Structure 1
């Protein structure tokens, strides 16, 4: 079994491991660009490890007594081998996870943690006390070099994908509506690496009886899928639920695709879940998809809380001059208060006071009823692109999300997190259904998936889907990626008004 990247949470990849008819030991060959990209990632990781190890050898070697002789060099070689071995052992070079999603960085981090643990155990076992310097210096240094290296390679790959290069050809098999949705998603987010090039539908026809869906040709009915896919060179065959697909039919399809380049993926339409909550296991001979409840382990919760509070303290300290300058600008503009406080709903429905720089006129709340007819927001949200209540400095602050910086105080006090769902207003929560209410399972965030995906330009349904996806699939790696992408989203100003 293999899971697709987190950007495609509505699909579950399935790789058959059975034998059918005759012995098969086929593996889908990688495209030239895939092999080159994987090689570049490996070289980047090895170079990062070598640089960190060389630096540690120079620094630590000077601090060790002369009688230790060649020991520092031997330890350096051993540490280098341990790191390099930990990367493939944790599948950090698996082509399926390279280039998209948080899983790539999660596995890299897991490999580095495993290295640190191994060195710690070795230090205790062989009484090499100086290995503590390697655990607390070498491994973090490797991460400090390797993570940016991988990110730069990913940016280069995404740039090429945006030009229509380095994409995996996909055949979609399912209803016209599902195929159209998949085509739209892959075109909107080409960085995921998919390009739908052919479609099979239940009756062999596309939109309004034509032979295409969203410009992609319909090459046959579902019963023709194997015949059409085998000679087509498709790297992915994406199948959606349909009465035609009985368990026996899907099993036979997986067998028939074993000798092709195609990987079979099946959409679990009963749910939109992905990541660590999904587990496939066999029970009484049946393959079952186990779905665990979304929970935060105590260790992860403590780590997230520490990262939030420490990060907020560091940012408040570094940004103190910026905060002071903004306060002066807001105050001198109209003489009103600098900060705007508002009741928001936090984790578990607990209310808290959220702080922002004031970006509207002093009597903005009293003007709201007059403007409701001009509401451009979706769902319970009120938004206007040209809100007359926004002040001159306020427009600039909103464009670059500078008005939200005081929320770092909320993060430091524990009411909010650096990353999480958008903090809702009480009257918005009153309109929540059972699905939207799940956003309150975690702390609201200063930023989140909604922030890096369009902000105010997002429809309510899409914003809700992103928040629920965060609740379902939360991880420290996902938080790190969101924080990094927030910087780009803020500087672009897209969807901010």
Structure 2
């Protein structure tokens, strides 16, 4: 007998209520705190010069109205929508957008009514309020992600579609629990109840005609249709009709992964919800912005880290024979070769020993799950000081000079060896649309433990969906990874 489904638990509303209370407390603290800091505890007044019949309004009343309007603007912008909570930058962008629109509207109204509002009061309230709102939202997100990893505060998802599409979407959702989709079952055309979805432990709850029963048994509140090729005509429409409004949800999950939201546009045509996927574009403005950030941040980094450079260079020179820097030919943007710099972390004949190590590992039948890149834990070619540098990725610091020279970027795909490029499938060459990076999605998502397939997928995802905010997020994750270090895999 199957266990009874858990009772309906509207985590969305509970979490949204917590955000409302949190936002309200933040805004009260910021707005009234700014007022007190600017005017003191006196009863300062707004002067309304357009109509002498209207008496001046107290700033205490104005601040109270401002808090309510700001709270409403955050709600009207859907900044607390369950669709944007827990992952991505949309939540933060909506907070900023709602705040800017509100203060812009206040400025326009004040101008039209000739109301004297202290500019300093507004100019301080806006940035401080936005900063504290974003900070508290970030704290709530960390809490939400922690809960989602334990299986709570997530949509309970039933996947419906072909076995191949269900397996693909299931693996992606299981890999990213922070997205808030906890897969509890699947309905596939074969409908063999004793089966599980390939590559997972997710049970098959029946055929595509047993969706309602499967939702009841699993307690699912969301149906995700992964493909419609093998579904009966109008089956998706029938599923949507049978869902309880406000309590159960329908999601269409096309088998396109790693495509960013800004590139997807839904356009209804003759009753058909067509999804338009824009091709990735790299304008001159985007390239100039990325290059400007690279040069500025790298120049500052080289100056600040110069004592570290000197210490590491001296340590390498005194601890082993050979040059301080290791130079290696890599493949960069547009498939052009360049010389990548690193602090030498291996013995001088490391390249000569590589062939023997590869043969030994092949004979033993052991590998790291990566068919193209050679990666090995406890590599015997690494020197003692090199092991410390690789643990904290310090051996990669000289690549900052590659960035200044223009052959690399701070963030980008991993720079491959020519021998690796020879083994690339055609689609993998899309990595060369951008400059390789010192760090990237691949490096902050598992580094040397990832399979070749996952490595390619993450690098191509970066190329397809580049944004400056994405680069900032990757750099932040890289800094955090340096605190909990692992071995460099460049």
Q: What TM-score, normalized by structure 1, do the two folds share?
A: 0.79
The yes-or-no answer on 1:330 pairing with 2:311 is no
Partner of 1:42: 20
1:458 equivalent to 2:436? Answer no
Match of 1:401 among 390, 393, 398: 393
Give the distance between the partners of 2:168 and 2:440, measured in 1 at CA. Answer: 24
Partner of residue 151, structure 1 = 138
Q: What is the aligned partner in structure 2 of residue 103 from structure 1?
A: 90
Please name the residue that 1:170 is paired with: 157
1:205 pairs with one of 185, 192, 215: 192
> C-alpha deviations, 1:155-177, integer Å up to 9, x for none?
22222233333232111223445
Residues 474-485 of structure 1 mapped to structure 2, 5 A cutoff: 474-485=466-477
In structure 1, the residue matched to 2:459 is: 467
User: Cα–Cα, structure 1 residues 226 and 31, in superposed 2: closer, same or farther, change >3 Å?
Assistant: closer
Q: Give CA-to-partner distance per residue, 1:255-282, whole Å, 9 cap, x none.
A: 2325473222223226653411111102
Deviation of residue 401 (structure 1)?
1.4
Q: Is the 8 A contact 2:407 2:435 kept in 1?
A: yes
Aligned CA distance change for structure 1 residues 117 and 475 (closer, same or farther; 3 Å): farther
Question: Can you give the 5+ residue segments of structure 1 that lack an aligned partner in the other structure?
Answer: 1-28
1:416 to 400, 408, 419: 408
How far did residue 391 of structure 1 move?
0.9
Q: How far apart in 2 are the matches of 1:338 and 1:234?
A: 59
**Alpha-carbon distance, 1:426 to partner:** 3.0
Tell me, what secondary structure is at the counterpart of 2:83?
helix
Under a length normalisation based on structure 2, what TM-score does the superposition of the two structures give? 0.80
**1:192 to 2:182 alignment:** no
- Could you tell me which runs of 5 or more consecutive residues in structure 2 were left unpaired when the two chains were aligned: 1-6, 48-55, 362-366
Per the TM alignment, residue 245 of structure 1 is displaced from its structure 2 partner at its CA by 2.1
CA contact (8 A) 2:188 2:206 kept: yes
Cα distance in 2 for partners of 1:415, 1:77 equals: 54
The answer as to whether partners of 1:183 and 1:195 remain within 8 angstroms in 2 is: no
Change (3 A) 1:428 1:143: farther
Please provide the CA RMSD for this pair. Answer: 3.6
Assess if the C-alpha contact under 8 Å between 2:280 and 2:464 holds in 1.
yes
| Matching of residues 361-440 of structure 1 within 5 Å | 361-374=347-360, 376=367, 378-440=370-432
CA contact (8 A) 1:346 1:416 kept: yes
The answer to whether structure 1 residue 239 and structure 2 residue 225 are counterparts is yes
Cα offset, 1:458, TM superposition: 0.4
* 1:443 corresponds to 2:435: yes
Tell me, yes or no, if the aligned pair for 1:53 and 1:138 is still in contact at 8 Å: yes
Q: How has the CA–CA distance of structure 1 residues 290 and 139 changed in structure 2, closer, same or farther, with 3 Å as cutoff?
A: same
| Secondary structure of 1:195 counterpart | strand
Equivalent residues of 2:412, 2:435 under 8 A apart: yes
Structure 1, 92-101 or 420-429: larger mean CA deviation: 420-429
Taking structure 1 as reference, are residues 53 and 347 closer, same or farther at Cα in structure 2, changes over 3 Å only?
farther
Q: Aligned partners of 1:474, 1:357: CA distance in 2, in Å?
A: 29
CA, structure 1 residues 144+472, in 2 after alignment: closer, same or farther (shift >3 Å)? same
Aligned length: 462
Partner of 1:9: none
Change (3 A) 1:220 1:338: same
**How far has the Cα of 1:342 moved from its partner?**
2.7
User: Which one has more relative contact order, counting CA pairs under 8 Å at least 6 apart?
Assistant: 1
CA distance 1:393–1:267, change in 2 (3 Å): same
Closer, same or farther in 2 for the Cα pair 1:216/1:68, shift >3 Å? closer
3-state SS of the aligned residue for 2:153? coil
Q: Secondary structure at the match of 1:451?
A: helix
1:21-420 mapped onto 2 (5 Å cutoff): 31-53=9-31, 56-57=34-35, 73=59, 83-112=70-99, 114=101, 131=119, 138-205=125-192, 210-213=194-197, 214-229=200-215, 233-245=219-231, 248-257=234-243, 259=245, 261-269=247-255, 273-374=259-360, 376=367, 378-420=370-412
Q: Distance in 2 between matches of 1:368 and 1:404?
A: 20
Distance 1:92 1:211, change over 3 A: same
Larger Rg: 2
- Aligned to 2:328, the other structure's residue is in SS state strand
What is the CA distance between 1:237 and its match in structure 2?
A: 0.9
Contact 1:240 1:269 in 2 (8 A): yes
For residues 31-83 of structure 1, give each alpha carbon's deviation from its aligned partner in whole angstroms, at most 9, with x where no partner exists: 45433322333344444445554565566669xxx999899958877875675
Post-superposition CA distance 1:417-454 (Å, at most 9, x none): 33221122233334333311111222222222111211
- In 2, Cα distance between equivalents of 1:248 and 1:133: 57
**Rounded Cα–Cα distance in structure 2 between residues aligned with 1:442 and 1:118:** 40
